[in-house]
């Protein structure tokens, strides 16, 4: 690779590193794993750099696949003792937007992997159906149905969680009154 192509690759990495890390994080749910996936994808992208017409789409595909592969590795399935600790409820947090963002993020993790990937690619990264299908390696119709089913599942999870919160609040109020 000549100096001009290397400089182009460096500029590409500088411009796309943040979005690629976010894609990997949303795919696997762990920042460390996401960074590993992005590093792996960029290492594989470098030798192919000259041959690509759409390096951005190719990189997104590689990052998505690397993030999925990283979560399948045996050492990624191990859990630390800290994972057994209960999550602290953030209901008292005054930043409602942060609560909502975390609520949606948790709900998104409950959506099946391929549907979650379709949602992230379509709505978070703003890719078209054709680009989403290309990244996922499926037909446009499959990408469309995965997106639709993912949205439907995400809505179900969020509505069920809202109902559970309301029931818990009613029970708490009834205990306080009694």
Convert the pLDDT of each residue in 134-148 to its tens digit: 999 999 999 999 999
Q: Supply the range of the domain harboring residue 125.
A: 92-178
Tell me the two tokens of residue 117. Answer: 């990937």
Instruction: Please count the structural domains in the chain.
Output: 2
Residues 67, 97, single domain; the answer is no
- pLDDT tens sequence across 23-72: 999 888 888 888 989 999 999 999 988 888 888 888 999 998 888 887 77
For 96, residues 6+ apart whose C-beta sits below 8 A from its C-beta are none
Q: What tens digit of pLDDT does each residue of 100-157 get?
A: 778 888 888 889 999 999 988 988 888 999 999 999 999 999 999 999 999 899 888 8
Q: Which of 42, 75, 108 is the last residue of a domain?
A: 75
Quote the pTM value: 0.54
**Is the same domain home to 49 and 96?**
no
């Amino acid at each position: 690779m000549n100096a001009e192509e290397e400089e182009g690759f460096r500029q590409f990495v500088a411009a796309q590193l943040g979005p690629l890390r976010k894609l990997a994080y949303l795919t696997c749910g762990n920042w460390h794993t996401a960074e590993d996936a992005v590093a792996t994808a960029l290492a594989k992208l470098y030798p192919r750099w000259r041959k690509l017409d759409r390096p951005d789409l190719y990189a997104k595909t590689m990052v998505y696949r690397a993030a999925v592969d990283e979560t399948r590795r045996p050492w990624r399935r191990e859990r630390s003792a800290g994972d057994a600790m209960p999550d602290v409820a953030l209901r008292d947090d005054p930043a409602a937007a942060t609560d909502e963002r975390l609520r949606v993020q948790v709900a998104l993790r409950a959506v099946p992997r391929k549907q979650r990937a379709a949602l992230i690619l379509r709505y978070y990264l703003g890719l078209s159906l054709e680009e989403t299908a290309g990244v996922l390696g499926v037909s446009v119709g499959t990408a469309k149905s995965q997106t639709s089913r993912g949205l439907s599942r995400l809505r179900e999870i969020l509505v069920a969680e809202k109902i559970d919160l309301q029931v818990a609040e009613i029970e708490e109020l009834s205990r306080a009154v009694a």
